[in-house]
Amino acid sequence: MTLLEIIKQPWPWYVAGPLVGLTVPILLLLGNKHFGISANLRHACAICLPKNIAFFQYDWKKEKWNLFFVLGILIGSFLTYSFLSNPNPIQIHPDLKAELMSYGINDISGMLPESIFSWNELFTIKGFLIIALGGFLIGFGSRYAGGCTSGHAISGLSNLQLPSLIATCCFFIGGLLMANFILPYILSL
């Protein structure tokens, strides 16, 4: 097996987890920076929108490193998808496959099922609820909570911040409620 074939395989949790976990101390040690992604929307708006909006009146240039971080994520994602994608179909548990099929999700060969995530589906009630409204709620919630899941669960918890513990618990409770009660209802529409 070549190195490229090894890299294309899914990474086990005990490799990927520590790599993500090491991001926090590296950022703190190298530049006293905090890991998080959602604040970049504010930075982008501060660059593009008129300066008379109080929320965007701050020195966004101090945070431009984070914009490069997001750019690196986008470039890395594109390169990974283009050159390192695993050509094998995604392996999921047969019980989950049966549950997804009961919701009308029959094509589970890719990361994003076409029956949910497509331009055609966006203009249905189900698609609008999942893609547009869900995206808005995630964006609003991350700003309202003062950060996204990565900022709170990875960076905030490692700094022993009580608000991050509360936010992370709420993220998990919300995720469980969504996955077990709300999403099945939406998918059955």
Q: Which pair of tokens denotes residue 103?
A: 């919701």
Q: Which pair of tokens denotes residue 72?
A: 């690196």
At residue 141 the predicted structure's pLDDT band, cuts being 50, 70 and 90, is confident
Closest CA to 37 of 17, 20, 53, 51: 20
CB–CB of 105/113 below 8 Å?
A: yes
Q: How far is Cα 166 from Cα 173, in angstroms, rounded to an integer? A: 11
Q: How far is Cα 120 from Cα 135, in angstroms, rounded to an integer? A: 17
pTM, full prediction: 0.70
Top-confidence residue, 73 or 189: 73
At residue 165 the predicted structure's pLDDT band, cuts being 50, 70 and 90, is very high
User: Where do we find the tokens 């409204």?
Assistant: 133
Q: Where are the alpha helices (DSSP H) in 35-161?
A: 39-48, 64-83, 94-102, 119-122, 125-127, 134-144, 149, 157-158
Average pLDDT taken over every residue of the chain: 85
Q: How far is Cα 4 from Cα 46, in angstroms, rounded to an integer? A: 41
